[in-house]
Amino acid sequence: MCGIVGYVGSQSALDVVLAGLKRLEYRGYDSAGVAVLADGGLASARKAGKLANLEKELVERPLPAGATGIGHTRWATHGGPTDVNAHPHLDNAGRVAVVHNGIIENFAELRAELAERGHVLESETDTEVVAHLLAEEFSGCAGLAEAMRLVCRRLEGAFTLVAVHADEPDVVVGARRNSPLVVGVGEDEAFLASDVAAFIAHTRSAIELGQDQVVELRRDGVGDGVTVTDFDGRPAEVRSYHVDWDASAAEKGGYDYFMLKEIAEQPKAVADTLLGRIGVDGALTLDELRIPAAVLKEVDKVVIVACGTAFHAGLIAKYAIEHWTRIPCEVELASEFRYRDPILGGRSLVIAISQSGETMDTLMALRHARDQGATVLAICNTNGSTIPRESDAVLYTHAGPEVAVASTKAFLTQLVACYLVALYLGQVRGTKWGDEIRAVIRDLADISGEVERVLETMEPVRTLARSLSDKRTVLFLGRHVGYPVALEGALKLKELAYMHAEGFAAGELKHGPIALIEDDVPVVVIVPSPKGRSVLHDKIVSNIQEIRARGARTIVIAEEGDEAVVPYADHLVRIPATPTLLQPLVAAVPLQVFACELATARGNEVDQPRNLAKSVTVE
Ligand code: AGP
């Protein structure tokens, strides 16, 4: 996710855009930039780091005053957070500036074509190709809006684009496909933004843009100031609406907490993490891994190091890696890893999973692994952070910034990334046939919609959570990949509701934990698919009977159509049927909602729980 602002009107474009970017900084904060049209030309500034760095730059090197401008706060996907990769990107003549949110999947071929035509591209980003394409098209057509339409028809992937051209000083043009863009309509001024938070200080009149649409804002009196068409130039139907959120709520997309917003963003985060990694033939394309196939073919052990929720993702990844590649896989708490004197060598692949990319325990673990000669692959959500920088390779999750301390969308995208790595290892080593890999990828591609379906049925879970807010403990049981899900559900409840919660492998009950069962103790049970190994399913149904016979209140997470659990479920939460290994992607969601709602019922501060930090940069 990135923050985008465009403005045309009578105020200082720089002031309006910078204030808007401040409101959007939660969407991305690894670099920022602005462009302003003034004196017949285009002036821009951009800096790596937080917005404050750009503001400092603008004090030292002011831009000319202008009433038309665009701006961007970046959450890097392609290319690290550097000055040269910061948006806006310009064409070689410096007459076009463009900012972008999303992923342009075919940027490599477009980049090659532009280079053949003599364009010099300076950055590592996918976005820069758009500036050069707009410059080419503008020179041959009736204005920037038409140029944008022509360019958009050549782009593949998800994108929000906002651009200006020095030859049209009173015009800002935007376009969107599978990425947010909203119009603000003021008195003699108009705004474009990733979300309304950027402009509701100026106007609450907004226009929602539809898929594959181009919007032109003009202040020279031509048209009504806002013109919307489809990519072929046909006038488009749009919906105007009044924004009744306050600015703070707007940053959270109208949700009370960032965590709720991030739970809701999970379908898109899962889809975005797959974007650009599945070829047209359905095969896996992970060239970005940059680990030679020869190295991957020699790997004789995989070790996953991570903390907290990322560690739980690693526990789930173990099942997939071992099942699909037959390579032994260990999963280690990063804080314990190097103190047990692990056995590593040149054929070890260490995978460091981290949302923030700054967790010191995980960083120290990967440093130890590299000292031992292992190859280190980072799975990370924060482009350019320390852990990927110190790894041999990185696979970025595309969850966008995760603001809430309790990890949700990062967790689901870590799982997706781990599945992709496991499939890629199987593909390179020949332990998975192409058609088998394509089948799993098709299942992964369905998950985004299935998570959406789960989110639509969460009201009973919220009601249940509120009814349990006075409980002292909740237990979680699971088998196979459901066991790490049980651990994750317990962690969510601990860190949000400040209550005792514990996850167990259901098979361990009889070895001790069943002593904890007493009258009305809530026990959440994640039930494996009945279509999977029936022995797993039958055994956990027996476990549910055992705990119910001892007074437990059973909260059963089970697939649609699984009738065997019905007689033993005091509360039944249905999830879509998925392949066994992928079930955590849907089973974790009710547990996130449950924990968030119970914490809210307890009056806790959900986004910043007590004693916790979003990134633990100390050991
Ligand atoms: C999970 O909800 C917590 N925020 C915490 O356990 C977190 O997963 C852990 O600290 C690891 O953080 P990282 O992914 O940024 O490395």
Ligand 1 near 355 CB (within 6 A): yes
* pLDDT (mean) for 501-519: 95
Ligand 1 site-directed mutation target among 616, 617, 618, 619, most atoms within 8 Å of CB = 616
> If you measure from the C-alpha of residue 338 to the centroid of ligand 1, how many angstroms do you get, rounded to a whole number?
19
The predicted-structure confidence for 89-130, as pLDDT tens digits, reads as follows 999 999 999 999 988 999 999 999 999 999 999 999 999 999
How far apart CA 602 and CA 31 sit, in angstroms, is 38
Distances in whole angstroms, Cα of residue 347 to Cα of each of 297, 327, 370 = 9, 11, 12
374 in Cβ contact with 583 (< 8 Å): no
Ligand 1 near 359 CB (within 6 A): yes
The predicted-structure confidence for 316-367, as pLDDT tens digits, reads as follows 999 999 999 999 999 999 999 999 999 999 999 999 999 999 899 999 999 9
Which atom belonging to ligand 1 lies closest to the Cα atom of 406?
A: 2
- By alpha-carbon position, which residue is closest to atom 16 of ligand 1? 354
Which of 473, 485, 478, 468 is CA-nearest to residue 518?
Answer: 473
pLDDT score of 539 more than 70 = yes
Arithmetic mean of pLDDT over the chain? 94
pLDDT score of 19 more than 80 = yes
What CATH number was assigned to the domain covering residues 459-601? 3.40.50.10490
Ligand 1 near 615 CB (within 6 A): yes
> If you measure from the C-alpha of residue 66 to the centroid of ligand 1, how many angstroms do you get, rounded to a whole number?
44
- By alpha-carbon position, which residue is closest to atom 4 of ligand 1? 406
> If you measure from the C-alpha of residue 551 to the centroid of ligand 1, how many angstroms do you get, rounded to a whole number?
34
Q: Per CATH, which fold does 258-452 belong to?
A: Rossmann fold (3.40.50)
Tell me what pLDDT residue 238 has: 85
pLDDT score of 76 more than 90 = no
Binned at pLDDT 50, 70 and 90, residue 222 comes out as low
Catalytic residues: 2, 614
> If you measure from the C-alpha of residue 200 to the centroid of ligand 1, how many angstroms do you get, rounded to a whole number?
33
> For the chain, where do the domains classified as CATH 3.40.50.10490 start and end?
258-452, 459-601
Which atom belonging to ligand 1 lies closest to the Cα atom of 414?
A: 14
Binned at pLDDT 50, 70 and 90, residue 283 comes out as confident
- By alpha-carbon position, which residue is closest to atom 7 of ligand 1? 308
Tell me what pLDDT residue 92 has: 97
The predicted-structure confidence for 22-65, as pLDDT tens digits, reads as follows 988 777 778 999 999 999 999 999 999 989 999 999 999 999 99
Tell me what pLDDT residue 223 has: 55
Tell me what pLDDT residue 175 has: 98
How far apart CA 127 and CA 35 sit, in angstroms, is 15
3-state secondary structure of 166: coil
CATH of 3-244, one of 3.40.190.10, 2.30.30.100, 3.60.20.10, 3.40.50.300: 3.60.20.10
* pLDDT (mean) for 140-165: 95
> If you measure from the C-alpha of residue 466 to the centroid of ligand 1, how many angstroms do you get, rounded to a whole number?
25
- By alpha-carbon position, which residue is closest to atom 8 of ligand 1? 309
> If you measure from the C-alpha of residue 498 to the centroid of ligand 1, how many angstroms do you get, rounded to a whole number?
16
> If you measure from the C-alpha of residue 451 to the centroid of ligand 1, how many angstroms do you get, rounded to a whole number?
21
For residue 564, with 0-12 CB atoms within 10 Å meaning exposed, 13-18 middle and 19 or more buried, which class applies? Answer: middle
* Structure-block tokens of residue 597: 């709602």
> If you measure from the C-alpha of residue 317 to the centroid of ligand 1, how many angstroms do you get, rounded to a whole number?
16
Ligand 1 near 309 CB (within 6 A): yes
Tell me what pLDDT residue 297 has: 97
3-state secondary structure of 138: helix
pLDDT score of 289 more than 70 = yes
145 in Cβ contact with 163 (< 8 Å): no
Ligand 1 near 127 CB (within 6 A): no
The predicted-structure confidence for 257-271, as pLDDT tens digits, reads as follows 999 999 999 999 999
Ligand 1 near 616 CB (within 6 A): yes
Tell me what pLDDT residue 224 has: 63
Ligand 1 near 314 CB (within 6 A): no
Ligand 1 near 362 CB (within 6 A): yes
How far apart CA 478 and CA 543 sit, in angstroms, is 10
> For the chain, where do the domains classified as CATH 3.60.20.10 start and end?
3-244
Binned at pLDDT 50, 70 and 90, residue 178 comes out as confident
3-state secondary structure of 265: coil
Question: What is the distance, to the nearest Å, from the Cα of residue 614 to the centroid of all Cα atoms in its chain?
Answer: 16
The pTM score is 0.80
Binned at pLDDT 50, 70 and 90, residue 287 comes out as confident
Ligand 1 near 578 CB (within 6 A): no
Ligand 1 site-directed mutation target among 259, 304, 305, 307, most atoms within 8 Å of CB = 307
